Structures are given as C-alpha cells and as structure tokens.
Amino acid sequence: MQLLPQSFSIPHPGRETWSRLEADFAGGRTVIRRQHMDYPLHITRGFYMDRAVPDLLTLYLQSASGGLYAGDRLHLNIAVRSGASLSLTSQSSTVVHHGREDGSIMHQMLDVGIGAFCSFVNDPYILFPGAHLAVKTIASVADDAVLLLIDGFTVHDPVGEGRSFSRFETTLRVVRPDGKLLVVDNGCLAGKELRPAGGALGGRKAAATLTLIAPPERLPSISVLERTVAAQGCLAGASRAPNGAGLVMRILGEDAGSLVRGMEAAFHVAGAAAKGLELARRRR
C-alpha cells in the first residue's frame, strides 16, 4: 500500500493569477467595457461620486483572501481608453505575509489612451515580519493623458517583538504609446535598513511614492502639493519627472494613519489639477 501525504501537508506553490479591466467612454460617462478578475482580486460596482465630474468612474479593488502569500504572482492589466476617466482605489490595506524563499510579486500593466485620465491609488501594503514584496509596474501613457499612481507600505509586527520585513521592491517604467521611454523609477529597501537609529526612513514606519504623468498645464504646484501633504503630519518632497513627463513625490509617515492621510491629500491636490475641479472624497 502506498501512503500519500494529506493535502494540507503538501507545500503550496503560491498563486499565479491574471486579471484585466478595460474602461471606455460611452454615453457621456466612463463605463467598464470588459473585466475578468481572478481570485483573490475583486471589484465593486462602479460609483459616480463627483457631481462636478460626471464622467469619472470610481472602482474599489478588493482582495477576497487574507493578503499576499509566499509564491503569489498576481497580474493586473488596466486599460483606460480614449476620453475615459477612471479612479481605481483599494478598499483597505493588503497584508503581505512572510515571503519564505519565493516572496510575492504584484505585476501591474497600465494603458492610458488619448485624452484619458487614470488614477490608481493603493492603500499602503502592510509588511509583516519576513515579507518580501515586489511591485512591478509598466505604464503606457498618451501625450495628453493623465496617470496618477500612489503606492506605499507600512511596517507591522503583530506580536510586538521588533521584527521587520525582508524586502520591499518597486520598479516603474513609463513609456509613450510609440515606445518612447519617459520615466524609470526603481527602488529596494531591506527591513534591516530600518533598525539603526535614524535608518532609511528616519525612524518612521511608513512610506509612499506619488507619480503623476501629465501635460505641464495639468500639474499642481509643487509647493502647494508639499505643504498640503505636510499638513497631515508627513514629510514630503516632490520634483519634476524627467523628459517633462510630470512629477514624482516621496512621502514619509510616522505610521500607517498619517501616511494614508498624506496620500489622500496628495490625491486631491493632484486630481484637482489634472481634472480642473475638486474631486469628492473616496470613502473606505
């Protein structure tokens, strides 16, 4: 008789999933033309929150699992077609569990068409002890389109023993539809770099990056953007992106709460400049 191990004793190789979302402009507003969401990702029904900007569709991206696990490879493709306006945000932060030997990877591909607006704002990833997450983003943005990306993380040890995550990596590559390279932004931070007094985050526990790709006339004032985020208790510094592509800002928060408030403030300043009107609050 051959004895087989019970299913729960077999190491799980992790998930590889493929999700796609396509927004189009039709009937005077933005609609979802196509969608395919693989587990664990899920989207809510669409909301039109902005009376002053009735064409802007808001979607909440949710996770049906307990977070990101070792070996997870999640692919998310987003296309915003010509003239459409999409605001995609997360319902809450995503927990990133111990990466073991494989880590977790989030692949994001964005295609923003002529005259389109795409905002993709994730609540900070919560990096548990041993977490190893890589967020890899490739974006194609038309000359007169707008792409607003905000991604960040916060550190958390549930048992309070001072343990930290393993690594957090980000890669961003922005091109024009013809392949012309605009921006490359790569970063990598090891958890051990936070431990010395005044470490990589200056003793803080949360950080985020805002990337705004837009024509010059649709960019906010850097000084206003920095002051607005700083008023939320964050440190913030912005500069122009290369090739006249837009601007980039780094944000540091004392904790997840202050970082989220800073990210939300940055979204509203950047969104108002890009759309020409104040945007409504995105409630969680």
Question: Which pLDDT tens digit goes with each residue over 84-128?
Answer: 999 999 988 999 999 998 999 999 999 999 999 999 999 999 999
**45 or 106, which is more confident:** 106
Band of residue 159 on the pLDDT scale cut at 50, 70, 90: confident
265 HSE (CA, 13 A, CB side): 23
256-275 and 222-230 helices cross at what angle (nearest 10)? Answer: 150
pLDDT at residue 4 in the model: 44
pLDDT at residue 2 in the model: 47
| Mean pLDDT over the full length of the chain | 92
pLDDT at residue 282 in the model: 81
pLDDT at residue 3 in the model: 45
Say yes or no to pLDDT of 9 above 60.
no
The order of strands in the sheet holding 104-112 is 29-36, 16-26, 73-80, 104-112, 132-141, 167-175, 181-190
Distance, CA of 272 to chain centre:
19
Band of residue 283 on the pLDDT scale cut at 50, 70, 90: confident
Residue % of the chain over a pLDDT of 70: 94
Neighbours of 241 (CB within 10 A): 19
pLDDT at residue 5 in the model: 46
pLDDT in tens, 25-40: 999 999 999 999 999 9
Say yes or no to pLDDT of 11 above 60.
no
pLDDT at residue 244 in the model: 96
pLDDT at residue 197 in the model: 67
pLDDT in tens, 177-235: 999 999 999 999 999 998 766 788 888 999 999 999 999 999 999 999 999 999 999 99
